[in-house]
Amino acid sequence: MNISHSLILYPIHSFRSFVYSVLPPGHEDLKGTEVEAIKKFKKALGLDDVDAANMHLAIGRRLYRKRLDAFQKLIFVSNLVFGDASDFILPWKHLFGITDYQIDIAMRENAKSLYALELKSIGRGLDIGTLIEVRRVQLAYKLFDEVAADMFKEHAKKLVQENISSALSILKSNTSAGNIPTEVINEVNSILAFNRLLTVLSKFPQGERFARGLGPISLAGDFDHDMMVGDLKILYAAYTTEVLSDGRLDDEKLGPLNELRNIFGLGKREAEAIIEGVMSDVKSQVPA
């Protein structure tokens, strides 16, 4: 009888130990592999949802009040493991006296952490397959569209800011008066190409299948924009100098200059003043 009872309990205790070991210790973030690992182990043991959920709750009793961050991770992972059934078999509020708001925070913050990890792998060469996969991940983590869109936009801005930092570093270290290094122009062209790609993809048919947050980039309104605006004007002037090196300003050249102005968040009059200044300098260098 004792042997039979032990055999019944073994899968349950084994599952509890496994789930506890999967959760990251301390303040470490989730890796994104925990949910699938738990699902597979649960299936291999042949546990039903109720027994497995009881083990998640038992771990919750162990973590609650001692390791709040780990308890929040447990809520997030558990709710994803059991899906819609979690509302019935995981009575977090009843057992632990927590509120819907606290559960929402646990779900949102852990989803944001994992989604940010997913975004890190995305560069400027976006393709349809990547955008569909990012959307799938967002839905799997139950991250709200508005939050996902804001995070994607911030990621896109960071990529642009990397180009800007690189271009400014090259520009400021350049000792050749009057010559704009090719690398600077390449960095700006990369910004423009990325912005155009995001704009095109935002208008793509069946775009509802794509990651949220696609669209043209603008640094305007960022908390540090006022501190950056001086450097942005310097870079804008450098690119304008290259574009208008022949002394001609037409619609074909004005298009990318206006696009760059919008990306940099410069005012229309600011940009026009820079263009006029560059045109004046170019014309003054033309032999009479």
In Å, how far from its chain's centre is CA 193? 19
| Burial track 125-145 (b if 16+ CB lie within 10 A, e otherwise) | ebeeeebebbbebbebbebee
In one-letter notation, the amino acid at residue 206 is: Q
What are the residue boundaries of the structural domains of the chain, listed by start? 2-106, 128-285
As a whole number of angstroms, the distance between CA 229 and CA 220 comes to 9
Which pLDDT tens digits describe the chain residue by residue (288 residues)? Answer: 343 433 345 578 889 999 999 998 768 899 999 999 999 999 999 999 999 999 999 999 999 988 889 999 999 999 999 999 999 999 999 999 999 999 999 999 999 999 999 999 899 888 999 999 999 999 999 999 999 999 999 999 999 999 999 999 999 897 666 688 999 999 999 999 999 999 999 999 888 999 999 999 999 987 778 888 999 999 999 999 999 988 888 889 899 999 999 999 999 999 999 999 988 887 777 554
- Nearest in space to 142 (alpha carbons), one of 99, 79, 85: 79
| Burial track 234-267 (b if 16+ CB lie within 10 A, e otherwise) | ebbbbbbbbbbeeeebeeeeeebbebbbbbbbbe
